[in-house]
Structure 1
Amino acid sequence: MCAPISELEQEELLEKLEVFKIKGRDKHGRKILRIIGKFFPARLITVEVLKRYLEERVFPKLGKRKFAVLYVHTDVQRGENLPGISGLRSIYDAIPANVKENLEAFYFIHPGLQARLFLATLGRFLFNAGLYGKLKYISRVDFLWEHVKRNEVEIPEFVFDHDEDLEYRPMMDYGLESDHARVYGGAPTMDSPVTTYSMRCIS
C-alpha cells in the first residue's frame, strides 16, 4: 500500500508526470488534450484532487474553443492507472457543461478488448450518448495520422513498441494473448521526471 501524500504533492506529481498536456491540433484545427493513461498514478491521486487539478489547470487552458482528446491507453493497468468506475463517473459529472459541449472528438489509442467491452456496455450508462458518439478507436499509431497532424503531438516510445508487438502478435488486439513477453519501463516515480521516457515527435 502506497503511503499517502499531501494534496499539493499530488497536484505537483500530476504536473511533473505530464499526464495531461495540451499541445498541437488535429486536422480539423482543434486543440488536442493528450492524456497518457500509463502515467496516471491512481494509487497516489485522489478523485477530488484530480477533479480540482482538471478544473484549475487543464480546463481553463482549453478556452472556449472546440477541442479533441487524445487518450493513450497503451499498457494501462486497472489497479495502477485507473480511478475505478465510481471515480470515472464522478470525474465525468464534474466536467463543466461547456467543456463537454466543446469536446468534438475522443481519439482512443490501443483500446484492447476489455476497454471496448466496457465502453460498449457500462460506458453507455456512465457517459452520455453524445460523448460515446465522439469516440474514435485507434488500433495503431499510423492510423492516428489520419486525424492528427504528425508534427503536432508527442507519443511516448513505449506506444510505438506496443505497435511493433501487435504487428507480430495481432491476437493481442483482441485480448487473446498476453503482452507480458515485452518488459516495459516502470511507471514514472516522484524522483524520475517524465523526460526519462523517450518521446517521438514525428515530423
Structure 2
Amino acid sequence: MRIIMNQEPLGVAHDIVSVGNLRRWSDVSPSHHFTDYSNIGEAPKHTQPPFAYDAEINHKIVLWTGDISSLQVDAIVNSTNESMNDSNPVSDRIFQRAGSGLKEEISLDIRECRTGEVKVTQGHALPARYVIHTVGPKYNTKYQTAAENTLHTCYRNVLQKSRELGLHSIALCVVNSVKRNYPPDEGAHIALRTVRRFLEHYGSSLDTVVFVVDNSEYGIYEVLLPLYFPRSKHEADAARWQLPADIGGLDGEPMIPDRQIRIIDNPQHTLHADEEESIDLSSQLDSAVSLADHAFSQMQGDLDQQRLLGERTYNDPLADIMVKEIQHQERYERLLRRARTEDLSEVSGIGCLYQSGVDRLGRPVVVFVGKWFPFNKINLEKALLYLISLLDPIVKGDYVIAYFHTLTSNSNYPSFSWLKDVYNVLPYKYKKNLKAFYIIHPTFWTKMMTWWFTTFMAPAIKQKVHSLPGVEYLYSVMSPDQLEIPAYITEYDMTINGLRYFQPSPT
C-alpha cells in the first residue's frame, strides 16, 4: 500500500511544506513479504550486500510526492536545458513561485548551463534558499555509457555543490526525463546509488535528502529504495540478487570495464558492439523482424538482461538466439498440438483464466484471477497447456490482460523459474499483440516482483504493464458490462474505494 508522506506541518502556511514533518525512510517499515532467494535457483550477483543497512543514513532520506517549489529546504533542484528555459511541470512551478527575480538572475548572471554541469541561483520568492539547476543527458542506447556517466555527474555535482555551500537539506527532482528518452528505472538506479555513496563519504554534511517524484515515478523509487537504502539486514542481503551487477564505483559512477576492453584491446569488435548497443530493447518491439512465427522477442530480452546486468558475449549472439528461438518455437508447436487434444477440464474448471468481453477498442480482454490459481496444487504442465489453448486464437490480433491480485496469498504465487519458462516458450505474437497488462489491487510486493520480472525476464512487455488501485480505473478502457469478475473482488473493492466505484458512467 502506498505511503503518504506529504502531510503539511502545523503552524506553517498551507502551501509551504517543512521537511521536518516529512516521513523519513527509516520510519517506513519493510515489507512483510520475504523471499528466500537462495531457493529460486539463481546465484546472487554479489557475494556480500553491496549497500549495508545503515539506520543513520536511512533517517536522512525522504521519498515524497508533491510540489517541489513548496518545500522549505536549503535548496531544491531544477532539471532544465542548456538555455535554462526548459518548459516542464517541475520547472514551470519553480519559476512561477520564484517570481520574476529568478528569470532575471538567470538572464543577467547565468545565461546557460552545459549538460552535466550545475548552476546556482537564489531562491527569490521560493521557500528554499537556493535553486541548483542542472541539465540531464539525452539517452541513446548506442551511447548508453556516456548518458549514464553524465546523469551520475549531474547528481554528483548537485550534491557536491550543496556541500560547498554548507547546505543541510536538499530536494532532488528526477533529473533524467522521458522527454530526453532516458528510461525511468535506469535513471532511478543511478540517482539512488549516487546519493547513497555520497552520504557514505560525506554524510555529516547533509541532514536531509528528499527524492521528489511524481505519481508515475513513485512506484519505481518505492521498489528500488530498499536495494540502496535497506531497512534491515534481510533487505540488504536480498539485494545481492535484486541489484544489477553494475552498482558503480566508489562514487556510484557507472563501471563497465568489459566495454572498454572490447574497444581498446580489439578494435575490430567496435562495429559489432555498436550494433549490439544501438538495439532499442523495448520501444521497437513492434518493428522487430520475424521469420514466420519465430520470435525475436527473446533476443531483445536476452540483450536487455545483458545490458542491465553488465554482461557481454564475445560470440555472435544472433546465431545462438536463432537456435534458441527455433527450439522454443518447436516446443510451442508440440504443446499446442497437445493442448488441442488433451482433456484440460481439471484446469479450466478452476475458473482463474477466461476471456471477458472486449475493451472500448474491440480488443479481447483476458481475465486472470490470482486468488483462484492454486500454484502449489495444480498440474503446472496442464496449466500451461490450458493457457495456450485459450490464448493461441486470441493473440493472433491485439488483446489485453486484466490480472486481479485481490486477496491473493503466497500459495498463489508462481515461481520465477516457472514464469520464465512460460514466457520463453510463448511466441513473439504473444508479446507483440499484448497491448496492455493491467494489475488491479496490487500490493507493494506485487509492484516489486512485477518490476523485477519485467526488468530482467520480460523487458519486451515492461512498458505495457499498469498497476490500478481499483476496478473503476478499468472503465476508461472497457465498458463495465464487458467485465465479468468474481463477487469477492467487487466486495473488497467497495471496502477500500467506496460505493462510488460501482456507479459506472454511461458508455
Aligned partners of 2:449 and 2:343: how far apart in 1? 28
Q: Does structure 1 conserve the Cα–Cα contact (< 8 Å) formed by 2:399 and 2:435?
A: yes
User: Contact 2:359–2:478 (CA<8 Å) still a contact in 1?
Assistant: yes
Is 1:37 matched with 2:370?
A: yes
Instruction: Give the alignment of 1:73-88 within 5 angstroms.
Output: 73-78=405-410, 80-88=411-419
Structure 1, unmatched stretches of 5+, are: 1-7, 169-199
Matches within 5 A, 1:84-123: 84-123=415-454
- Residue of structure 2 in register with 1:64 after alignment: 396
How far off its partner does 1:108 sit?
0.9
Preserved CA contact (<8 Å) 2:356 2:366: yes
Alpha-carbon deviation of 1:102?
A: 0.9
**Deviation readout 1:132-189 (Å, 9 max, x if unpaired):** 1001111111111111111111121111222123248xxxxxxxxxxxxxxxxxxxxx
CA gap 1:44/1:11 in 2 versus in 1, 3 angstroms: farther
Letter in 1 for 2:408: V
Of residues 90-99 and 106-115 in structure 1, the stretch that sits farther from structure 2 once superposed is 90-99
Distance in 2 between residues matched to 1:139 and 1:9, nearest whole Å: 38
Residue pair 2:395, 2:429 contacting (<8 A) in 1 also = no
2:436 counterpart letter in structure 1: A
Deviation at 1:60, TM superposition (A): 2.7
Give 1:49's aligned residue.
Answer: 382
Structure with bigger gyration radius: 2
Shift of 1:63: 5.0
**SS of aligned partner of 2:476:** coil
Deviation at 1:46, TM superposition (A): 3.4
- Does the Cα contact within 8 Å between 2:395 and 2:433 map onto a contact in 1? no
| Alignment-derived partner of residue 153 in structure 1 | 483
Q: Of the two structures, which has the highest relative contact order with CA contacts closer than 8 Å and spacing of 6 or more?
A: 1
Please report the TM-score for the alignment, with normalisation by the length of structure 1. 0.71
> 1:126 deviation in Å?
1.9
- CA gap 1:122/1:105 in 2 versus in 1, 3 angstroms: closer
CA distance in structure 1 between the partners assigned to 2:368 and 2:406 by the alignment: 11
8 A contact 1:47–1:83 mirrored in 2: no
**What is the CA distance between 1:82 and its match in structure 2?**
2.0
Partner Cα distance (1:93, 1:140) in 2? 31
Aligned to 1:186: none
Per the alignment, in what secondary structure is the counterpart of residue 429 of structure 2? Answer: helix
Q: CA deviation at 1:120?
A: 2.1
Query: Is 1:144 aligned to residue 474 of structure 2?
Result: yes
**Partner SS state of residue 61, structure 1:** coil
Contact kept in structure 2, 1:51 and 1:94, CA below 8 Å = no
Corresponding residue for 1:16?
349
Give the TM-score normalised by the residue count of structure 2.
0.30
| Residue 9 to residue 161, structure 1, CA distance change in 2 (3 Å) | farther
Q: Displacement of 1:122 after TM fit?
A: 4.3
Displacement after TM superposition at 1:118 (Å): 1.6
* SS class of match (1:137): strand
Aligned 8 A contact 1:70 1:108 in 2: yes
Gaps of 5+ in 2: 1-340
Provide the secondary structure at the position in 2 that maps to 1:151. helix
Structure showing the higher strand proportion among its residues: 1
Question: Measured at CA, do residues 9 and 113 of structure 1 come closer, stay the same or move farther in structure 2, by a change above 3 Å?
Answer: farther
Instruction: Find the aligned partners of 2:444 and 2:366 in 1 and give their Cα distance.
Output: 24
RMSD: 2.4
Aligned equivalents of 1:12 and 1:157: distance in 2? Answer: 23
CA distance in 1, matches of 2:452, 2:472: 28
> Of 452, 455, 461, which residue of structure 2 is paired with 1:131?
461
What is the CA-CA distance between 1:15 and the residue it aligns to? Answer: 0.9
CA distance in 1: counterparts of 2:492 and 2:374, whole angstroms: 20
Percent identical across equivalent pairs? 25
Q: Alignment partner of 2:367: what SS?
A: strand
Give the letter for the 2:401 counterpart.
Answer: V
Distance in 2 separating the partners of 1:30 and 1:44: 32
Between the two proteins, the alignment pairs up a number of residues equal to: 161
- Residues 38-92 of structure 1 deviation map (CA, whole Å, 9 limit, x = unaligned): 111112223322222222x2123315110000111111112x2122111111111
Give 2:488's aligned amino acid: F
Shift of 1:123: 3.5
Alignment match, 1:190: none
- Structure 1 Cα separation of the partners of residues 393 and 342 of structure 2: 21
Tell me: CA distance 1:9–1:74, structure 2 relative to 1, closer, same or farther (3 Å). Answer: farther
CA drift of 1:101 comes to 1.1
